Amino acid sequence: MTDSFQATIWRVPPGGGAPQVWFQNAVIDGPFGPNGVRVDKKSEKLYFSVTFDGAGIGYVYTLPLINNPALSDLKLFHKYDGADTGSGPDGIAFGKSGNLYVALAGTSKISVLRENGTEETKYSGPAQNPANPAHNPLPWANPANIAFNKKTKSLLVTNHASLTGLPDPSFLFAVFDVYVKDKAGKLFKDDDDD
């Protein structure tokens, strides 16, 4: 489990029990630190997002699935800086294609990363109408999490509407279905992904 406010990834023992610190370091700290988390299809690496560091830069990192990873085990997979500063990577999900889909809460987009960490594309939600934000189409509002709907080859995208700053953002709470022509990847190496 990721802990956005303690620069920590926790591990729960098999069968349950009290969580234990698995990895903790100031490198992954920030106003919103470790956030979205997934295991790769080979069950060898943990991928996780760091939403914002102190400079507004977001990251996707990997750690090997070993008992006590050290700072030297932490590898940068993708950095959202430059024109992407403030993107705010949040929830993540692997496609069957091997691509990693990343919800960018800060820019209300979905980033698609190739297996080598380079960005393939970005999906934008419906355009907002500045004169009337409640006007349809309903905009993406800081998408926080994503999951696959394998029957439709699409992503289900949740709005994190409470972070919009609007006095009553309740009209923005929604789940969007975004066609990406991909299915969910395996969560574990023995999973059947059909």
User: Tell me, what CATH number does 173's domain have?
Assistant: 2.120.10.30
193 is a domain residue: no
The pTM for the full model equals 0.89
185 is a domain residue: no
**pLDDT tens figures, 106-156:** 888 999 999 999 999 999 876 555 556 555 677 788 888 999 988 899 999
19 is a domain residue: yes
Q: Which of 115, 86, 108 is nearest to 182 (CA)?
A: 115
- For residues 159-177, average pLDDT: 80
Exposed/middle/buried for 84, CB within 10 Å: 0-12, 13-18, 19+? Answer: buried
Distance of alpha carbon 102 from alpha carbon 122, whole angstroms: 9
Q: What percent of the chain has pLDDT over 70?
A: 90
82 is a domain residue: yes
187 is a domain residue: no
Domain region containing 13: 2-179
- CB atoms under 10 Å from CB of 190, counted, come to 7
Structural domains of the chain, count: 1
Lowest mean pLDDT among 7-11, 41-45, 135-139: 135-139
Lowest mean pLDDT among 48-52, 88-92, 124-128, 144-148: 124-128
190 is a domain residue: no
